[in-house]
Amino acid sequence: MTDYLKGGEYLTPKKIHADRAARELQVDWADGHRSVYDFTTLRWLCPCAFCRGEAGMPGWLDSNPELSEDQTTLTDMSMVGQYAVQPTWADGHHTGYYTFARLREECPCREDNERRAAQRAERSGSSPHQHG
């Protein structure tokens, strides 16, 4: 487990801003890191049971659906306690609680992409260039 997943200040957002014109969510973290998720990326990350499946059943997103404009347009977002945000999408979907830990883990920046690639390689025990 990486440090920031253990919680604490590192994964606390200082500022969360949904920029509807740019269609992106901007998160400034307590450690100074900035994450920018475009709405489509964010929609694909929806962690709810409908999108992700449950009890071993695949979810809606697992069927690789074609997302409509409504489904990738953020209309509202509320805080869930001190640990998550809950976006509402233009198609009415609002059951996903995006924890800060998950948002930080899925940060789409290059640095974090490389970190995830390195972690995958570590887990599989092979170089990132090999299959698997």
Closest to 25 measured CA to CA, from 44, 9, 52 = 44
- Give the C-alpha separation, 107 to 35, whole Å: 6
Identify which of residues 21 and 111 has a Cβ nearer to Zn ion in the complex. 111
Binders of Zn ion in range 102-121 (CB under 5 A) = 107, 109, 112
Identify whether the C-beta of residue 72 lies closer than 8 Å to the C-beta of residue 43: yes
The pattern of x and - marking residues 17 through 56 that bind Zn ion according to CB under 5 A reads -----------------------------x-x--x-----
- Give the C-alpha separation, 120 to 112, whole Å: 12
Identify which of residues 23 and 52 has a Cβ nearer to Zn ion in the complex. 52
- Give the C-alpha separation, 58 to 77, whole Å: 26
- Give the C-alpha separation, 31 to 19, whole Å: 22
The pattern of x and - marking residues 53 through 92 that bind Zn ion according to CB under 5 A reads ----------------------------------------
Q: Which residues bind Zn ion (CB under 5 A)?
A: 46, 48, 51, 96, 107, 109, 112
